[in-house]
Every structure is written in C-alpha cells, then in structure tokens.
C-alpha cells in the first residue's frame, strides 16, 4: 500500500518541476533592452519633410503618435521633458506603377506609393543616440479610376500608418 501512495507523489512532483521550468525564461514587468532602460516616455516633434510632396509631415507625425499610443510601450509626451526623442525626416515619396489595366496594357490600374524616411532616436536618460539616420519605409498600394492625384491623396495616410508602424517597431523592438 505504501508503494501505491508513493507513485502519485512522484507524478505530482515531476509535473510541478516541469511546470516551473517551463516558465524559466519569462519576466514580469519591463521587457525593454539596455537601450531603453529607465525610458518611460518619448517626445515626437513634427516630422520634417524634405520631399516634394506637400503637407505630409502632420499626417506622419499624428500616425507615429497614434502608433506609440496603441503600442503602449512608451508614453508620448509632447514636451521636451520626455525621457527620449524620436526625430523623423521624410526624404522621398515615390509612386510607381504596379499593375496595368486588364482592358488596356498602356493604362496603369494600380500604383504603389512608398515613403522613404530616416529616423534618429535619442535616449536622454543615457545621453546618447541609440540610432541615427536609420532608414524607415512606409508603403501601400492604390487603384486609380480616373484621377491619379486623388488616389495619391487617399493613399498617403495609409502609407504614413505603415511608416509609423515601422518607426515605432524600430524604437520598441530594437530591430
């Protein structure tokens, strides 16, 4: 009878050891790397626009702030007292033909718009730049019906959302 009582204890002990060892790599709380130690907030100034595309900087700035808020890793602080700063400069906006019309191969039906930018991230707590002039790209596609300018105008916010997603991932994930 004592051998039968001993078997469930061995099984329970083995299961408990496996359950505890399965969680050995997990951490609770701040999961940021060395570059983000102590950083809780980020300042995002208005994006600089060195491209020929007008009025894109406010849309890009709002997209980056919205993406930081959705991510939740860093709090956006719109003054210079923040722990870090992300400066983004748009360098070029390109629209390239993607697909021709099914009825006329000389007419482009779909375009790809790509926003090229550079990002500089400064950790003010450490007093150093984490990355400088890192390339960031935002892209989307759009179909044209009769007016390509209207298609570009409608596609710019989608491309800036992708740009913001890539810029925030660069800061929070360090890739």
Residues of the chain with pLDDT > 90, as a percent, come to 42
pLDDT at 99 over 60: yes
Average pLDDT over residues 21-46: 69
- pLDDT of residue 19 exceeding 60: yes
Split at pLDDT 50, 70, 90, the class of 23 is low
pLDDT at 108: 82
* pTM for this predicted structure: 0.77
Q: How far apart are CA 52 and CA 93, in angstroms?
A: 7
Q: What pLDDT sits at residue 38?
A: 76
pLDDT score recorded for residue 102:
78
Supply the pLDDT for residue 169: 92
pLDDT of residue 25: 56
pLDDT of residue 24: 58
Summarize the confidence of residues 97-112 as an average pLDDT. 83
CA distance 10 to 64: 54
Q: Which is nearest to 168 in space by CA: 72, 33, 39, 40?
A: 72
Calculate mean pLDDT across residues 5-10.
74
Give per-residue burial for 30-63: e unless 16+ CB within 10 Å, then b. Answer: eebeeebeebebbbbeebbbebebeebbebbbbb
What are the chain's domains? 33-172 (3.30.160.150)
pLDDT digits (tens, 9 = 90+) for 140-152: 999 887 788 888 8
């Amino acid at each position: 009878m004592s051998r039968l009582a001993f078997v469930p204890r061995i099984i329970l002990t083995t299961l408990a050891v496996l359950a505890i060892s399965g969680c050995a790599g997990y951490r609770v709380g701040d999961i940021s790397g060395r570059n983000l130690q102590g950083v809780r907030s980020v300042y995002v100034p208005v994006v600089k626009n060195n491209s020929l595309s007008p009025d894109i900087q406010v849309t890009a700035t709002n997209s980056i702030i919205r993406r930081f808020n959705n991510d939740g890793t860093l709090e956006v602080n719109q003054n210079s007292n923040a722990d870090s700063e992300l400066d983004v400069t748009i360098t070029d906006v390109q629209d390239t033909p993607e697909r021709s019309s099914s009825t006329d191969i000389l007419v482009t039906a779909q375009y790809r718009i790509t926003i090229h930018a550079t990002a500089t991230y400064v950790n003010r707590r450490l007093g150093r730049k984490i990355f400088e002039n890192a390339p960031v790209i935002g892209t989307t596609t759009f179909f044209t019906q009769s007016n390509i300018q209207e298609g570009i105008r409608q596609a710019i916010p989608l491309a800036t959302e992708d740009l913001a997603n890539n810029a925030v991932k660069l800061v929070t994930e360090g890739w």
